[in-house]
Structure 1
Amino acid sequence: MGSQASRLGVVDALRGFAIVSIMLLHNIEHFDLYYAVAGAPPWLAALDKAVWEVAFFLFGGKSYAIFALLFGLTFHLQSQARKERGEDFRVRYAWRLLLLFGFGMLNSMFFHGDILTIYAVIGLCLLPVARLRDGALLALAAILMLQPYEWLVLADALRHPEVQTGDPVSWQYFGRINDYLTGDSMLRAWAGNLTNGKLAVIHWSWENGRIFQILSLFMLGMLAGRRGLFEAGAQAMRFWRRTLLAATVLFLPLYTIRTLLPDWVASAAVRRPLVTMVASWSNFAFMLVLVACFVMLYQGGTLTRALRLLAPLGRMSLSAYFTQSIIGSFIYYGFGLGLYEVTGASVCLLIGALLALLQCAFCAWWLRRHAQGPLEQLWHRATWVGAHRPA
């Protein structure tokens, strides 16, 4: 989730932006411990509903996508740096992903919604495609973004629209989460997160098209690195201006269709794959809007100085992401403060914003004294164990 080599300030800041938005979403979700506060006054209930809807409109399905895009970009930067030294990075990168999987499993003890383990497994798919030409890589990314599995499901549903689909498999696992997250046993919560919780997230990711989209975004991030789209320059700025326009034009009808699909399609069997596809495309389009706006503001806007404050957080994204889970589980789960019972989305948004500010301040302080974050340094050293130290 960060590389010491080939640092691009805008990439660090954009990754920091994603960390902040993830922090806000995870807090208003009580870190996946969903609970409606009883007895809230009508005005607060209405405010909570508005906060929830706005936060998920802005960041739901987009923050993780930014991370996936930058994950692919980082893979390219690291591979390119080693290639220039006449070395093949792929075997070392596979080891690096195994280490990331280990970090992810530790993180999953505190928060079952961990994305690191999923990135580590899917990231292995980058190794066989790393040397494809740009055109072939773009074509493969486009096919994956189209959600090929959902098209097969849709084709089958159109032949049998009357079939009852039943609840998604992930719901069975999510239904058991409160049994151990609301209790006062930390060990029981850890065990539940590593078993039932992990299965819930894996099933949910598959059911919502995340697996294909993540791999597609990895590949698009590689292409962005090859084309220098995050480097300062007129050509890159033209690309992001055009991307902003195209993504906006694409998002508006997709979001409208996504909203109206339940009214347009009566068959649940037909509607489910359609919703999955349109939601993934809608989120992708809006993610591009966010990235394009961020890059243009960073490279040439009046907010450049403010956005640079996010760069230290982006450089320490692994440490920050892991810390979020530890702090969040203690704040909301039953073995900690148990605030899930008394905090709605509005209060949780304030808690998330405060934690994000503290993380930004801590990361800036840490990086004035160290070259990397604590987990980043550990990951870096373990990656290159037994090898000559990389430049």
Structure 2
Amino acid sequence: MTVSTRIPVLDVLRGVAILGTLGTNIWIFTDPRGPAGSLISDGPGFFETLLRTLSNGKFLALLTLLFGIGLELQYRSAKRRGERWPGWYLWRAVLLLAEGALHYLLIFEWDVLMAYALVSLLVAGVVARTDRAVRVGMAGAAVLHLVLITLLTLAGIDGDSGLSAYPAAYADQVSGRIEHFWEFRSESILIIPLTILLFLGGSRLMRAGLFTDTSAGSRLRRRLTVLGLGVGLPLNLLTAFAGPRWFFVDRYVCAPLVAVGLLAALTALLMRSTGSPRLAAVGRTALSCYVLQNLLCAVLCYGWGLGLADRFADLRPWWPPVAWALVSALLIVASGWWLRRFDRGPLELAWHWAWRLPQRQGAVSR
């Protein structure tokens, strides 16, 4: 999608989602047990539970919905150009998979890019099918997801990874990611049905007029806001304080429901305002900011860097939000500075070059 056809609201929403995912990941980076620490603590206090609940699962789900919306926009763009679908989009997915694999191996155990790439390969063709076919696919994914979450909850599994902390050396951390590949990829595998549901849901919300300034679009935004914030948020708070046993329901059922409400409420707010250029800059460089925020947190927190996770262990739960605010501020400043000089983020530029390269070579050979 070219700059001239961008939807400004989506740029801001991506910026919110990127900084929001950092709000969840910061608790992993700052865990004194190291990157193998669970997504939840053993018996967290009231304030830590509340602070974690503000972001846990919601912005990952929001980012997933936005990825589905982006998939729909790519499909529309291909149709306008008269291109075969999914066509070159599959090459985009392969590049994203390679990017995610490097991100996982070198920086962050809980990378989401690999999962997005694999699921996009699965659903790219479904987006072009009839509404009935898409609804059937969404229903099947929803049922499978709820069955999995129900079984895990009834089994009393609380989401703790059970892995021990890594040694401080960077090379040992990389080796650990290879050795414990399937453990660290377990969340991505578990939420494949949810990811399919949110991808297709984002596509269909785009088609339903979520971003249009019409009465139908306004009604859709109001209904989704009531569903997500009026129903999902109270359930989210209830499960968050109900104990570790409800971890999966909290993160993978209630939080995505809240994310739908956030998407609708923020869209309605942004359509009545001038938006936020600073957050839009983060959204326009979303891939670069996602990788950079994790790299910065790794340098700050891990033993091979400044080791602040261990040094400030006694300052939890207060220092992780401070770290989140500082890294977020740096991303906002850096993305704005970069876009005053370039039209894409640094990783986006490299990624776009790699995507166009085989197309150029094909054109030359013809």
Give the superposition deviation at 1:352: 1.3
AA aligned opposite 1:329 = A
Aligned length: 348
Given the superposition, is the C-alpha separation of residues 97 and 234 from structure 1 closer, same or farther in structure 2, using an over 3 Å criterion?
A: same
Give the superposition deviation at 1:19: 1.1
State the match for 1:111 in structure 2.
108
- The correspondence of residues 161-310 of structure 1 with structure 2, limited to 5 A, is 171-172=161-162, 175-176=163-164, 178-180=165-167, 183=168, 185-196=169-180, 198-206=181-189, 209-251=190-232, 254-255=235-236, 258=239, 276=248, 280-301=252-273, 304-305=274-275, 307-310=276-279
State the match for 2:284 in structure 1.
315
Given the superposition, is the C-alpha separation of residues 232 and 340 from structure 1 closer, same or farther in structure 2, using an over 3 Å criterion?
A: same
State the match for 2:38 in structure 1.
none
Correspondence 1:120 to 2:101: no
AA aligned opposite 1:187 = A
Alignment gaps of 5+ in structure 2: 35-43, 362-366
Match of 1:327 among 296, 299, 308: 296
Distance 1:315 1:118 in 2: 21
Deviation per residue, 1:237-289 (Å, 9 max, x gap): 22111211123343256447746977xxxxxxxx97x8745753211221122
Deviation per residue, 1:287-318 (Å, 9 max, x gap): 122212211111115xx44x342001011010
- The correspondence of residues 70-109 of structure 1 with structure 2, limited to 5 A, is 70-108=66-104, 109=106
Highest Rg: 1 or 2? 1
Correspondence 1:60 to 2:41: no
Contact 2:145–2:191 (CA<8 Å) still a contact in 1?
A: no
State the match for 1:45 in structure 2.
none
Deviation per residue, 1:333-364 (Å, 9 max, x gap): 11111001122231121121111111111111
AA aligned opposite 2:183 = A
Distance 2:109 2:80 in 1: 39
Contact 1:8–1:231 (CA<8 Å) still a contact in 2?
A: no
Distance 1:284 1:375 in 2: 28
Give the superposition deviation at 1:214: 0.9
What is the TM-score normalised by the length of structure 2?
A: 0.84
Contact 2:62–2:256 (CA<8 Å) still a contact in 1?
A: no
- The correspondence of residues 39-58 of structure 1 with structure 2, limited to 5 A, is 49-58=45-54
SS class of match (2:29): coil
Distance 1:26 1:148 in 2: 23
Contact 2:110–2:185 (CA<8 Å) still a contact in 1?
A: no
SS class of match (1:360): helix
Contact 1:112–1:194 (CA<8 Å) still a contact in 2?
A: no
What is the TM-score normalised by the length of structure 1?
A: 0.79
Distance 1:338 1:369 in 2: 34
Distance 1:31 1:105 in 2: 23
Contact 1:10–1:298 (CA<8 Å) still a contact in 2?
A: yes
Contact 1:15–1:70 (CA<8 Å) still a contact in 2?
A: yes
Distance 1:368 1:260 in 2: 44
Match of 1:369 among 316, 319, 341: 341
Match of 2:135 among 133, 138, 141: 138
Give the superposition deviation at 1:49: 4.2
Identity percentage over the alignment?
26
AA aligned opposite 2:7 = L
